[in-house]
Chains A and B, each alone.
Chain A
Amino acid sequence: MKPLPYRTYSLLLAGLLSMLALWAAGIPRLKMAFAPDPTWQRVRMTGIWRVGLDPSFPPLTMLDEKGKPDGVEVRLLRRVAAKMRVRLQITALSSDALYPALWSGQVDSIIGGLPFDPLLTRDVCYSHSYLDGGLLLLWPEKQPQPTLSLAGLRVAVIWGGEGDRYLRDTLRRGSHLVPKRYLTSREALTAVQSGQADAAILDAITAYTQAGKYGLRWREPPLQSLPYHIAMPVGAHHLQAAVNGVLKQLPPQWYLPLFAEFGQRQSCKGE
């Protein structure tokens, strides 16, 4: 039997790999572009975008004085809906019922500080991140930025919170810092403001809402990242693209004025 020459093998292999690459890169995208998106079709047909959220997580989602949904995420949804030229219809649900409502088709999307969950991607697709709720390092505006190793610093955190956990992990890794634990974020921020602590580690939402009042600034990206996304049914690629298109156009730190507004409201209520 006459063996095949190497060049023939190489050509065959190259052809096969090229076909595989084309299939992997191009065809699924083409297929997706032409595949129907029943969620988007329904939204376009009715002109209504149905979003589920749990309004018990202020300042992201809450009810206003009249009992209507409000909050930073609700304002974001309104902005996205306006750009998509559809009417926003919010369905208030409990947190545990959000994903089931999405799967059962009760709503088109859900929101509420939802991080990307890799185990749900068979049923759910996510938008780009619109906000990072991770941990921020805060320090007085007039001081230089502290070293990220936190070595030698007195660091204020909420006792038992995520910041406390971060500090304990850092200490276990051998860093020489002095943890200062406080019951509330207000106490932790006051400690930094008054010089009892050099810096604070708090979650981004608390920082955005309160830090300005204490003359503190923060460093981004966060020490620990926790991006939030809008979730949609897995076949809703047109809706996903439309939402992402709007999110891309948002100005940087679009949320800061809103957090300031809702932070002001909370402090007026004495919260």
Chain B
Amino acid sequence: MKSLPLRSITRFIWSLLRFFPYLLPFLLVGDTLLTVPVGPGLPVNGINPKMCVHTRLTDEVEPWKIRQTLQLAREMGVHQIVEYFPWAYMEPAPGHYNWTHADLVLAHARGQGLRVIARIGLVPAWARPPKTLDSYLNEEHFGDFAAFAAAFAARYGDTLSALVVWNEPNLRHEWGGRAPDPVAYTSLLCQTYVAVKTVSPNLPVLGGALAPTIAPPGNPQAITDLSYLNAIYRAGVSCCWDGLAAHAYGRTASAEKPPAAGAVDFRRVELLHQAMIAHGDSEKQIWITEGGWNDHPRWTQAVLPGQRIAYTITAYDMVWHRWPWAATFCPWVFRYPRPTYTYQDNFTFVDVDFTPKPIYWDVRAYAHGERVP
């Protein structure tokens, strides 16, 4: 009967170890091999300078996916993007910053020749009481947020086209699960504005990112965008911002449908513009940092896919040619890092696997001055 000699085992292990020197270089530079070259700043060829799109790179880990997303956005013809930079991710402990992901996203955006509107928010656990929502921020921590915004602006101010302070503060769940408070928000915005301007005087600071709502007065869930805007003006917002960020969702209405105070549609932002004029703030622009249409086949708040394409192109064109007071239109959302398996997937232009949807090709054709079918 044969036996397994110990010497053979030792020899086998030794022969494996002989390959180690060949593996060593790969082990040492493995991390470098995973990085993706940023490349030179590429030109954007879209004809409409106000074309923009909201990307969703927050939870996108792999560099090549970040670059691929931004490359497809550039090729679609947008000149800038809106991207979310969560405070909680970047300042995990007071005064300790982690800029790794933001560096990556902004480097690739520069490489693709895209300007970036940065939206900041999401409160770290250390800046709020336990068991509160991550949108909960007390007045005592407004200074911490302002300091973070200033650190962010100091690092990236030259490469950003604007900074959006908070998101949809007129909604309860975006204001820490408390009743929306326009006076407190104005205080937060003013503190942030002063801090950012100290380090980056040319970076536009935007307030709001107001959600379009028609909630009745006294509704605990929301204050209408129009009422909220009037309230922050009364609280003195004029001196604390360079423009208003607003969301413009069309829901089931066409892009052309005239606005009305009691309806949510794309042109509702015209009412916000009128309110700004009424408050003597006509010089400042509205930046539409979210919006657009959804084409889920069964959702009652969706439109047909062809309508979505037509409305989106009309909206881009309207903002460019007819709305000098609007700085940009950035529909939600270019691509998700992973499928949501809900109607949210029907807001995207490109699938998770980077397959462009028909809307991508038609918007791209429009942006390059070609005939849209």
Contact = CB atoms under 8 A, between A and B. Distances in A.
A95 B341 contact: no
Given A158-B304, A164-B305, A117 B6 contact: no
A161 B3 contact: no
B298 A58 contact: yes
Interface string B285-326: 000000000011111110011111100000000000000000
Interface in A171-213: 181-184, 203, 205-206
B141 interface: no
Given A161-B297, A184-B304, A7 B341 contact: no
A203 B308 CA distance: 18
A119 B306 contact: no
Nearest to A183: B306
Contacts of B338: 119
Contacts, number: 85
Interface in A139-187: 158-162, 164-165, 168-169, 181-184
B355 interface: yes
A223 to B, nearest CB: 16
Given A164-B358, A181-B306, A114 B341 contact: yes
B339 A117 contact: yes
B3 A3 contact: yes
Contacts of A158: 304-306
A168 B360 CA distance: 12
Given A3-B3, A117-B341, A158-B305, 11 more contacts: A56-B300, A57-B296, A57-B300, A113-B298, A117-B339, A159-B305, A161-B306, A183-B306, A183-B307, A184-B304, A203-B297
A6 interface: yes
B220 to A, nearest CB: 16
A9 interface: yes
Contacts of B6: 1, 3
A158 B304 CA distance: 8
A204 B137 CA distance: 46
Interface of A: 1, 3-7, 9, 56-60, 95-96, 98, 113-115, 117, 119, 158-162, 164-165, 168-169, 181-184, 203, 205-206
Contact of B342 (A95, A164, A181): A95
B1 interface: yes
Q: Size class of B's contact patch?
A: 20 to 34
Chain B binding surface SS class: loop
A1 B338 CA distance: 58
Given A4-B3, A160-B295, A56 B305 contact: no
Nearest to B9: A3
B355 A206 contact: no
B41 to A, nearest CB: 30
17 contacts: A3-B4, A4-B3, A4-B4, A5-B1, A95-B344, A113-B298, A158-B304, A158-B306, A160-B309, A160-B358, A161-B295, A161-B297, A168-B361, A181-B373, A183-B307, A184-B304, A206-B297
A160 B306 contact: yes
B97 interface: no
A165 B299 contact: no
A96 B3 contact: no
A56 B301 contact: yes
Contacts of A5: 1, 3
Contacts of A117: 339, 341
Contacts of B306: 158-161, 181-183
